[in-house]
Amino acid sequence: MKKQIVKIITSVMLMFSITSFVSPDEIKKHEIVKENEYDVVILGGGIGALTSGIYLARAGYKPLIIEGDLPGGLITQSHSVENWPGEIQITGNDLVNKIKDQAIKNGCTILSNEVIDVDFSKKPISITLKDLYSNKTQKIKAFSCIIAMGTSSNYLNIKGEKDYWGRGVSNCAVCDGSFYKDKKVAIVGGGDAAVVEANYLSNLASQVYIIVRKDKMRAKDKEKIKALAQKKNIKIIYNTNITAINGDDKNVISVDILDNKNQKKYKMTLDGVFLAIGSTPNSKVFQNKIKLDGFGYIKVFDGLTTSIDGVYAIGDIIDPVYKQAITAAGDGAKAAISCQKYLEENSYQSIQNSVKLASDSSQVFSSKVVEITSLKEFEKELKSSDIPVIVDFYASWCRPCQRIAPLLENGAKNLSGKVKILKVNVDKLRELSSKYQIRSMPTIIVFDRDQNQIFSKMGTNSISEVINSLDKIKDKPVNEIDSYLKNFDK
Active-site entry in 39, 108, 145, 172 = 172
Of the candidates 25, 192, 43, the residue with the CA atom closest to the CA atom of residue 113: 43
3-state secondary structure of 309: coil
Cis peptide bond N-terminal to 71, omega within 30: no
Strand order from edge to edge, sheet including 272-275: 169-170, 272-275, 184-188, 207-211, 234-237
Of the candidates 344, 288, 328, the residue with the CA atom closest to the CA atom of residue 40: 344
Q: E strand or H helix at 304, and its extent? A: none
Of the candidates 269, 337, 252, the residue with the CA atom closest to the CA atom of residue 303: 337
Active site residue 145: no
Question: From residue 407, how far is each of 28, 301, 335, 483 by CA, in Å?
Answer: 8, 41, 34, 22
How far apart, in whole angstroms, are the C-alpha atoms of residue 331 and residue 148? 10
Rounded to the nearest 10°, the torsion over CA 200, 204, 206, 210 is: -20
How far apart, in whole angstroms, are the C-alpha atoms of residue 180 and residue 158? 22
Active-site entry in 39, 108, 145, 176 = 176
Active site residue 172: yes
Tell me the one-letter amino acid at 447. F
Contact 390, 444 (CB under 8 A): yes
Question: From residue 283, how far is each of 77, 169, 232, 280 by CA, in Å?
Answer: 21, 26, 41, 9
Please give the DSSP secondary-structure letter assigned to residue 109: E
How far apart, in whole angstroms, are the C-alpha atoms of residue 278 and residue 214? 14
Active-site entry in 108, 175, 398, 401 = 175
- The residues annotated as belonging to the active site are 172, 175-176
